[in-house]
Amino acid sequence: MRFRHLSILLFGAAALAGCNSDEVSGTRTELEPAALVRYVNAVPDTSALDFRFTDGNVENSPQFPSIAYRQFTVYQRARAGSRRIAVFTNPLPYGSDIAVAQQKHVDTSFNFEAGKRYTIISYGFARATASPRHRLVIIEDVFPTTLAATSVGARTIHAAPAAGPLDVYVQTSESPAGIAGATPVARNVAALAATPYVTLTSRPVGGALVYRWDLAAAGGTTALAVSPSSGLPGQAGTSSSNPLAGFQIGRSVITAIAFGPSVAGSRAPQGGEYASLGMRFLPDQSLDSTEPGR
């Protein structure tokens, strides 16, 4: 059940990347230039966070409320240009106290370019005694554009603030068999680095054969984390809906994000998978389109 939350990802939002108009009842409405943004909470020592655009623009200013540690959002349209963005404490665990809702973790500006996609990561620690301190890291997402019908593109982002450089292994079975004799797909990946996309063979639809991500300290011989990719199988397209990206859907583009353990005693989720390094798999995009008119 560790990847249960992925089922809520309605990846149709990705199709917005190429849209510049909206037609309703025969009326054509031009859409302003926009970027696509999504938000990831990688802060392991606090409660859920609220991400907001705070520059006074209402349209194309997505708000992402109550994003808990290791959770993420789908892409949403954001007005292009220099935008002010901030992260606040979500007040619900504190009785919706307005004073808590006004607690600002990060306040910064960034220039979002029209037609581009961005992953915005809350990275670091919220507690003043810990380092590195919470800040926003913004990564421009540039996807592979040529994938075979039986291939998947996947990369890894290192977002574990207390971990050193990591070696990333992608294994062809979910059964933990160790990394002895295996070759990492990426070596010595530093914190906040995004690896290049690697090309993998898509898995049979409905089958049990998937992939496993193993993380090890750079140069190490013991896996520190073992995470199956089965939580993101994807969904084939139909005549009325586009495919959803996943490891069983050819020409999918996927990001794996490495998170550190939650801080004991904090309001971040505790125990179980949160007690050690772990992964989440984000559907980036499906390069195929099956819905008429898209």
Rounded Cα distance, 92 and 96, in Å: 5
Say which DSSP state 177 is in.
-
- Listed residue (154, 144, 142, 143) closest to 200, CA to CA: 154
Say which DSSP state 228 is in.
E
pLDDT at 180: 86
Name the strand (E) or helix (H) holding 28. Answer: strand 27-30
Distance of CA 160 to the CA centre of its chain: 13
Interacting residues of 95 by C-beta distance below 8 A, sequence separation 6+? none
pLDDT at 10: 40
- For residues 259 and 159, is the Cβ–Cβ distance under 8 A? yes
**27-31, long-range: CB within 8 Å, 24+ apart, which pairs?**
31/77
Rounded Cα distance, 196 and 85, in Å: 27
pLDDT at 102: 73
pLDDT at 281: 97
- Listed residue (127, 90, 134) closest to 108, CA to CA: 134
pLDDT at 271: 95
pLDDT at 249: 95
pLDDT at 93: 66
Burial bucket for residue 17 (CB in 10 Å: 0-12, 13-18, 19+): middle
pLDDT at 26: 61
pLDDT at 127: 93
pLDDT at 283: 96
Task: Name the residue type at position 211.
Answer: Y
Say which DSSP state 143 is in.
-
Which segments in the chain show pLDDT lower than 50? 1-19, 293-294
Say which DSSP state 6 is in.
G
How much is the pTM? 0.87
Residue 206 in tokens: 């409905």
Rounded Cα distance, 40 and 65, in Å: 12
- For residues 151 and 199, is the Cβ–Cβ distance under 8 A? yes
Q: Max CA-CA distance within the chain?
A: 62
pLDDT at 5: 40
